Amino acid sequence: MALRDGRVRLDRYLLLDQLLLDLALGLLAGTALLGLWALGLRFLRRARELESNLMSILSDLRPGDALALAIISGFAEETFFRGGLQSSFRDPATGLVVAALLFAALHTGPGPAFRLWTAYALAAGALCGLLLLWRGALLAPIVAHVLVNAVNLQRLVRRRPIDPPSRRYNPPDGLVQRVVRRGVPRALRPS
């Protein structure tokens, strides 16, 4: 599946004769990962702390933007980590482990709560890698990843507390200022 010949063929994303099965498996895997996160939220203080941190970081994200981000990131990350990196190893097990570890390492942040996100990303990366090994196409991992991102991002942007307009930071309108404002966590903005 890797880019050994300089291109990625459509059959690496989906096998038309197995389309429904791969969709169903992706939905099932995504649902299992969402269930795992729901358990974490119920029983782990760090999971709730992580959600609070992520809500602050994503404070300016609108629901439509969150859905677009979920689709783009799920497709792009699975294409890179599973379709490119994992598939470039001669030994499938080595590719799975390396891709899952790198995927997890890039899903991190400051503080102990973000270590939980890294561990969750490791489990998700391993599951998506196993789906690729089993099915031979990227559709199931992409569907699982998009589902997890879409549900979690929608929940985060809809649950966030809305500050009254008088307390919000309103920098001058300009492209650079808007980019900076969206990238700065709410907790670090002037009040």
Cβ neighbours, 10 Å, residue 92: 13
Q: Is pLDDT above 80 for 162?
A: no
* Average predicted confidence (pLDDT) for the chain: 84
What is the amino acid identity at position 44? L
Cβ neighbours, 10 Å, residue 122: 16
Give me the pLDDT at residue 135, please.
Answer: 93
Q: How far is CA 156 from CA 44, 55, 58, 142, in A?
A: 17, 6, 8, 21
Give me the pLDDT at residue 111, please.
Answer: 87
Q: How confident is the model at residue 56 (pLDDT cuts 50, 70, 90)?
A: confident
- Judge whether 139 and 24 are in contact, CB under 8 Å: no
> Apex CA 158: angle with CA 23 and CA 110, to 5°?
90
Q: What is the pTM of this model?
A: 0.79
> Apex CA 181: angle with CA 180 and CA 186, to 5°?
125
Q: Is pLDDT above 70 for 75?
A: yes
% of the chain at pLDDT higher than 70: 77
Which tokens go with 50? 């992580």
* Domain residue ranges of the chain, discontinuous segments joined by +: 19-160
Q: How confident is the model at residue 186 (pLDDT cuts 50, 70, 90)?
A: low
Using CA atoms, how far apart are residues 139 and 170, in angstroms rounded to an integer?
Answer: 42
Q: How confident is the model at residue 12 (pLDDT cuts 50, 70, 90)?
A: confident
Q: Is pLDDT above 70 for 171?
A: no
Give me the pLDDT at residue 81, please.
Answer: 96
Q: Is pLDDT above 60 for 185?
A: no
